[in-house]
């Protein structure tokens, strides 16, 4: 099987526990080829159908997600952007458990599993490739001089994690068979498609932070919308 490359993902959320109805509010993805070179990037804010939680962490406010797609509006494009690639995240269990919960609300199953076993975790690889460094994304990035000035924005964190992965690939060139095994594993993962049966979201998630849906979003295939960015004042 041909290695399909990597999809580095990061999500921002309303809190830490999907079991307590915390939701995904932003998704960032960076595609890398098999050698670790950037191919494309994607990002969107997501209307979580509830309050946004700790805005001092992620910086998103109600106005930023008003009219944004909900998770069920972007899930098919999300699956297409992960399908066939090794899914990578820093602390992959966190991303995986939130994706599993969002999928479950739609009657779908994430092949990453709620424990993240189906994803490659750059945090778990840190002791191998960055011995002596801390395990947080900031610590790992500092160890290899990767800029993480825009932390807690999904695309910024995903881009930093992608650079971290590229460094691991260079340092782990002698372990090329191990990386290829991940590629073969990813090719066998079964991501839902647009034809996969799904359930209707519970009424509590039918109207988002911006109010009732205006009908402009197509389930599974809404346009992704980047967060609004303003210059930061020192």
- Summarised one tens digit per residue, pLDDT across range 1-32 is 789 999 999 999 999 999 888 999 999 999 99
pLDDT class for 207, splitting at 50, 70, 90?
Answer: low
Domain ranges of the chain: 6-212
Please say whether the beta carbons of 52 and 60 come within 8 A: yes
Domain 6-212 has CATH 3.30.1490.110: no
Residue 59's pLDDT is what?
78
The larger pLDDT score, comparing residue 147 to residue 144, is at 144
The whole-model pTM stands at 0.91
- Summarised one tens digit per residue, pLDDT across range 49-101 is 898 888 878 879 888 899 999 999 999 999 999 999 999 999 999 999 999 99
Residue 215's pLDDT is what?
46
pLDDT class for 202, splitting at 50, 70, 90?
Answer: low
Residue 184's pLDDT is what?
95
Query: In terms of Cα–Cα distance, which of 83, 67, 73, 72 is closest to 29?
Result: 83
CA 81 vs CA 5, 148, 192: distances in Å: 11, 24, 12
């Amino acid at each position: 099987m041909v290695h399909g490359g990597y999809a580095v993902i990061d999500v921002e959320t309303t809190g830490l526990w999907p079991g307590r109805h915390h939701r995904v509010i932003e998704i960032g993805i960076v595609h890398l080829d098999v050698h670790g070179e950037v191919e494309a990037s994607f990002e969107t804010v997501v209307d979580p159908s509830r309050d946004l939680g700790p805005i001092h962490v992620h910086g998103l406010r109600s106005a930023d997600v008003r009219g944004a797609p909900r998770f069920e509006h972007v899930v098919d494009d999300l699956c297409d952007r992960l399908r066939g690639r090794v899914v990578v995240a820093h602390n992959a269990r966190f991303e995986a458990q939130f994706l599993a919960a969002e999928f479950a609300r739609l009657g779908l199953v994430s092949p990453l599993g709620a424990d993240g076993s189906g994803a490659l975790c750059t945090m778990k690889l840190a002791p191998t490739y960055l011995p002596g460094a801390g395990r947080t994304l900031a610590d790992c990035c500092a160890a290899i001089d990767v800029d993480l000035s825009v932390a807690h924005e999904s695309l910024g964190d995903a881009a930093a994690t992608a650079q971290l992965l590229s460094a691991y690939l260079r340092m782990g060139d002698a372990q090329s068979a191990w990386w290829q095994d991940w590629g073969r594993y990813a090719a066998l993962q079964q991501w839902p498609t647009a034809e996969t049966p799904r359930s209707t979201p519970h009424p509590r998630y039918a109207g988002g932070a911006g109010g009732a849906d205006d009908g402009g979003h197509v389930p599974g295939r809404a346009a992704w919308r980047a967060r609004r960015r303003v210059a930061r004042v020192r």
